[in-house]
Amino acid sequence: MEIKYTIRIKEKHNPPTFKEELGKGVVATQIADFKGANEKDLDEPNLLRQIFELAEKLKNEWFEVVFEINNP
């Protein structure tokens, strides 16, 4: 079973469109293949955990927050 993850900036932040074909606020999409899984398996806690862990991993790998201190 393939699951498509969409990595985007939340609408409440009024994000720009980076690529027209992806849509407003979408930075990237990623397809993950959970081999051997089917829709019935979505009731299994282990598969759900893997799906959510990959979403968290994508979020953490794709974004970073960098800050600098500006002295007046």
- Any domain includes 70: no
What's the pLDDT tens digit per position in 39-48?
999 999 999 9
**pLDDT of the residue at 35:** 92
- Any domain includes 72: no
Average pLDDT over residues 44-58: 93
- Any domain includes 19: yes
Exposure string over 29-46, b if 16+ CB within 10 A, otherwise e:
eeeeeeeebeeeeeeeee
Q: pTM above 0.85?
A: no
- Any domain includes 67: no
Cβ atoms of residues 53 and 60 within 8 Å: no
Q: List the structure tokens of 5.
A: 């993850």
How many domains in the chain? 1
- Any domain includes 68: no
Name the residue with higher pLDDT: 67 or 20: 20
Residue 18 DSSP label: S
- Any domain includes 11: yes
- Any domain includes 71: no
Structural element, H or E, at residue 30: strand 26-33
Average pLDDT over residues 12-36: 94
- Any domain includes 69: no
